[in-house]
Structure 1
Amino acid sequence: MTSLQGCHRIGKRYRFEAAHFLTGLPEGHQCSQMHGHSYEVEFVLTADRLADPGFVTDFGELAPVKRMIDETLDHTVLNEVLPVVPTSENLAAHLAGWFVEHVEPSLPGRLAAVRVSETASSWAEFELAER
């Protein structure tokens, strides 16, 4: 068997409901009014080598992410709970920063990207630089 080089990746998706509005948009822009979305957020982790018994990270170790989403973001007005303008791009970067600070230190894998979808057909992704 040929020895392959590369890395392993896993992803975990979470859903939550929230409202937001965006300022600084042209008059009449649909996103300038308060509106809601059924958000889907995906955290992608990577590892060069698998931890026993063969995981990038045990999905159970991601429980703090679900807890934070449920307690902080679900059924809120994102403008009131986020320190950034609540675009999908900013939300993805914010969640990546939170994850790296609060969850990643205890994991064998490392965060590669966070993807945020406001609709089934659109998404924004924050990809972390190689670390």
Structure 2
Amino acid sequence: MGHRIGKRFTFEASHQLPGLPDGHKCGRLHGHSYTVEVTLVAEDLVEPGFVTDFGDLAPFKEHLAEAFDHRHLNEVMTVAPTSENLAEVLAQWFITELEPAIPGNLFVVRVSETASSWAEFRPERAA
């Protein structure tokens, strides 16, 4: 896979997960300080030796701020607002909206609700 880079972003949001047994704490309205980490890969570097310039990831930060920060995720996502689903939603946005404009390719999106737990989504890529 060659070279990899990663960048972390944060936002605050609430959610409650549907379909859980009565009394499950995640079924109650609660919030998290989310951390989202993206990893990009490239076989070859662009001048002056980047996978992509970290500054080129600013639109992703803006998207997180506008679409997710201080929001109730149940209201802004069309799927259950789990970390797994959020990672996939963010990967799809990144691939569609940002990847065509920058060097490098998205390798993985990792979403953490807490310091000790995370979920990843790795997009399927044609060989």
Bucket of the pairwise TM-score, normalised by the shorter protein: over 0.9
| One-letter identity of the residue aligned with 1:46 | V
Structure 2, unmatched stretches of 5+, are none
Deviation at 1:84, TM superposition (A): 1.3
Name the residue aligned to 1:8. 3
- Match for residue 48 of structure 2 among 42, 50, 53: 53
- Amino acid aligned to 1:28: G
Dislocated runs of 4+, deviation >3 Å:
none
TM-score normalised by L of structure 2: 0.97
CA deviation map 1:91-117 (0-9, x unaligned): 000000000000000111000000000
The count of corresponding residues between Structure 1 and Structure 2 is: 126
Q: Report the residue type matching 2:39 in the other structure.
A: V
Superposition CA RMSD, Å: 0.8
AA matched with 2:6? G
Cα distance in 1, alignment partners of residues 6 and 22 from structure 2: 38
Provide structure 1 residue ranges, at least 5 long, that are not aligned to the other structure: 1-5
- The equivalent of 1:84 in structure 2 is 79
Instruction: Return the TM-score normalized by structure 1.
Output: 0.94
Aligned partner of 2:120 in structure 1 is 125
